[in-house]
Structures are given as C-alpha cells and as structure tokens.
Amino acid sequence: MSTMTARVKTDNGGKYVGQLCKHWSHKLETRIDGDSGRVTFPSAIVTMDADAEGIALVIVGDDAGEVERLTDVVARHIDRFAFREAPLAYDWTWKEAAS
C-alpha cells in the first residue's frame, strides 16, 4: 500500500470537504460525516478530516503512481472550491507502509 498525507491550512475546511464529497458523489462512492469525508476512487481511497485550522488529507492505494496522481486531482478540486483563498499550500509526504 502507498500512502500520501498532507495538512492544508484553511478556516473553511469543513465546507470544502462537504462540497468535494457532494461534487464527486455523482460518479464515485462518497461518505460524509460532519467535517470528515471519504471518497472511493477505483484505485485509491481519499479521506479528509477538517478542523478549525485546516484539512488533514490521506490518499491510500496499491499503485504509488496513481496515489501520486491523485494528490494533484484532490488539490485542484479543493482549490476550485477555495477560489477566494487559493492556491492553498499542500505539503504532500509519503507515509511508510508498515512491514
């Protein structure tokens, strides 16, 4: 499993998580619970947890290349909803898989 994580600073994280899940719900399986959301892509799962300071993002999948590609997809979509404060800063990091 490959995992990428990021923390994105914004005062509107919960709003953006909700908008993103609703946007993707037309084509993908999504779940939203308060300020947390999950989007299931064919090749990976994206989880988003918002709080007063921002959004914690986690992308997990079997294909490292696809996980890395989704970092751009997720960032572009969040920035689209956050147009008043975009571009936001995404500091993506690989998380080591447990052995």
Domain that holds residue 31: 2-90
Q: Output the domain CATH number for residue 8.
A: 3.30.310.50
Q: What is the pLDDT of residue 95?
A: 86
20 belongs to a structural domain: yes
**Is the Cα torsion angle 84, 18, 30, 53 positive or negative in sign?**
positive
Q: In this predicted model, what pLDDT tens digit does every residue of 36-53 receive, in sequence order? A: 999 999 999 999 999 999
Residue 96 resides in a domain: no
Q: What is the pLDDT averaged over residues 74-86?
A: 96
Does the residue 27 lie in any domain?
yes
Residue 6 lies in a domain: yes
| Count of structural domains, the chain | 1
Q: Is residue 47 part of a domain?
A: yes
pLDDT value of residue 78: 97
Residue that is written with structure tokens 């994280």 in the block: 13
Q: Is residue 98 part of a domain?
A: no
